[in-house]
Amino acid sequence: MIEHDPGVRTSMVFADMKRPMLGASTRWDYFSKHLVVWKEHVRFRTYAIILALLGVYLIFAQPVIGIVSLGFATFFYQKHQHALARTLKSHRTIIIGH
């Protein structure tokens, strides 16, 4: 029977990982990975602008639908801000190979 020693702790080692945690990639790999997020940024901005304009118009014609449209406009604006922070305003360290 193995006795428990409070000074000894179990730990994990990342030696068996299939890919490195901070690996270098090519410029094309980095670009193609973040191109999807940049497209989301543009798409969500477009949705937010269209729904905001539609909501302002509908607030006078159909107030209930106008309020829902303005709510969706704020939702897509927040998603736009999140995608913007992930792509253009990111300050992450990037290791790019040749």
pLDDT, tens digit (0-9, with 9 covering 90-100), for 36-68:
888 999 999 999 999 999 999 999 999 999 999
Which residue, 96, 78, 77, 82, is CA-closest to 37?
82
Detail the DSSP E strand segments found in the chain. none
Examine residue 96 and state whether it is found in any structural domain, yes or no: no
43 domain residue, yes or no: yes
Give me the helices (H) in 5-62, please: 27-61
CA 9/CA 86 separation, integer angstroms: 37
In a domain, 78, yes or no: yes
pLDDT of residue 29: 77
Of 25-29, 34-38, 76-80, which one has max mean pLDDT? 76-80
For 83, the domain range is 39-90
Contact call for residues 37 and 83 (beta carbons, < 8 A): yes
For the chain, the straight-line distance linking the first and the last C-alpha, in angstroms and rounded, comes to: 55
**Residue at 77 is within a domain:** yes
Work out how many domains the chain is built from and give that number.
1
